[in-house]
Amino acid sequence: MPRGMGGRGGRGGRGGRFRGGGAPRGIYYAGGMGLGIPGVHDPLIGRKFFKRPHSVRIPFKAVDDTMEHKLFPVTPSNLECFHGFQSVFTTQHLYDFTVDGKTYRSVDHYYQRMKVEQLTGVASEKFDDLSIKNYGNLAREIIRLQNISRKTVDQWRVSCGVEVLQKALLEKVKACQELRDALIKTGDKIIVHTFANDDFFGSGVPYKYVKDWSSGMEQNKIQVKFPMSFPLTPETVKHVPIFAKGRNVLGAILMILREKINTNQINNLQVTLSPVSQYVTPETQERSNRSNGAAGAPKKPGEIDFTMDYEELDSITTSQPTATGAAAPQQIGSVGPAKTAIVTAQPTTRSAAATVANPAATVANPAAAAAAAGKVKIALPGKAPVKK
């Protein structure tokens, strides 16, 4: 197994296969670092999860002192970290609430429905089926069938998607006493979504990395400034500070909602969704394939072929475009799509170093060696070689 991979917690790690340690680097396949980067195998579930980078990034913009904001010291004891289906803070947590007269099972249910409707104009009746367990898979399939490019999905995710997420979270906070109590219980801690597969809504790294990172920040007495205005817009979301390796936008939104609960403003809030055309430039999958080169041409710098939307510990099946443009199913959790190997013709003249490095090959087949040197020709089987 290559160095920096496997069951010892990465390069420099210690401990057994399912006991982590060491620096949060390399690839982690079990236990230790929780969810790792870029891939991790969960021994309890038997699946691998992969962090996929996004093609659209939002720049950081410092909060102006005239804006509504709040300072938080960064220390391990001042963090409220969460991940997993069972946490009331995750978007997949099940609790029925109503948005615009329709019932949704979770925040993610509303988020996925609006993503499909805003990007494709398609209103699928399947989103009304409350027995579906994974609306993310349904949304991805519809978007794939509509040939929406991954870049377009990324543009929506960091702009209109932020507003959609806040609208659902606000309605859930108003309806769910458990969520309100959990937010109040966190006090003035920084709420962090420690999810390695998401560096926009989450921290981009697992729990242990965040803890180690915050320890370094504590030694330098660092404080971070979070915006406290609600809702965050595609412009003001740029003020959310980079936390560990991600933007932790979900955690930042929950902190703002907590502040509004504590100041008795929560019932006066509302979210109005912006027109999609204001922030998203439509692009079909065919155009994206032509620009990238469907036959294996090199991609332009910064271009990404795959977008993993916010999904908490989800094993999904998606589709990768083939050289002909057809979609071939691929199970996330495998090594990945096969890559085309480019073979370059090697020169026939051997260097002296190569000959010395493998003397046995020359001795074992002197006729072939002589032929390579141009001294003899190799005759057909059963015939003697002909000298020049």
DSSP string, 37-84: SSEEEETTTTEEEE----S------PPPTTS-EEEEE--GGGEEEE-S
Amino acid identity of residue 218, one-letter, is E
Highest mean pLDDT among 31-35, 259-263, 348-352, 359-363 belongs to 259-263
Structural contact between residues 201 and 111, judged by C-beta atoms closer than 8 angstroms: no
Distance CA(288)–CA(307), nearest Å, equals 13
Whether 316 and 137 have beta carbons less than 8 Å apart is answered as yes
- Asked whether the predicted pLDDT for residue 375 surpasses 80, the reply is no
pLDDT per residue over 264-304, tens digit each? 999 999 999 999 999 998 776 554 444 444 333 344 443 33
What residues does 50 pair with on adjacent strands? 39
At residue 57, the pLDDT reads 82
Q: Give one DSSP letter per residue of 316-363, joined into a string.
A: -EEEEE-TTS-EEEEEBTBS-SPPPP-PPPPPSSPPHHHHHH-HHHHH
Name which of 76-80, 97-101, 230-234, 316-320 the model is least confident about: 316-320
Rounded Cα–Cα distance for residues 147 and 290 (Å): 13
For the chain, the domains span: 1-50, 69-277
89 neighbors 191 (Cβ within 8 angstroms): yes
pTM of the model: 0.65
Q: 51-70 burial by CB neighbour count: b if 16+ within 10 A, else e? A: bbebbbebeeeebeeeeeee
Q: Which tens digit of pLDDT belongs to each residue from 95-131?
A: 999 999 999 999 999 999 999 999 999 999 999 999 9
- What are residue 103's DSSP bridge partners? 98
35-47: per-residue pLDDT in tens?
Answer: 333 444 444 444 4
CB 204 within 8 A of CB 198: yes
Q: Closest by alpha carbon to 207, among 251, 152, 270?
A: 251
Q: Is the pLDDT of residue 83 over 80?
A: yes
Q: How confident is the model at residue 54 (pLDDT cuts 50, 70, 90)?
A: low
> Is the pLDDT reported for residue 348 higher than 90?
no
Pick the CATH number of 69-277 from 1.10.357.40, 3.40.50.150, 3.40.50.2000, 3.40.50.300: 1.10.357.40
User: How many angstroms separate the CA atoms of 44 and 275, rounded?
Assistant: 43
Question: Which whole number is the average pLDDT over 199-217?
Answer: 97
Kind and range of the H or E run holding 72: strand 69-73
pLDDT in tens, 297-347: 344 443 333 334 444 433 333 334 433 344 433 333 333 333 333 333 344
pLDDT of residue 283: 74
State both tokens at 210: 């965040």
Give 133-188 pLDDT, tens digit per residue. 899 999 999 999 999 999 999 999 999 999 999 999 999 999 999 999 999 999 99
- Tokens at residue 150, please? 């991954």
For residue 166, give the nearest of 254, 292, 71, 78 by alpha carbon.
254
- Mean pLDDT over each residue of the chain, to the nearest integer: 74
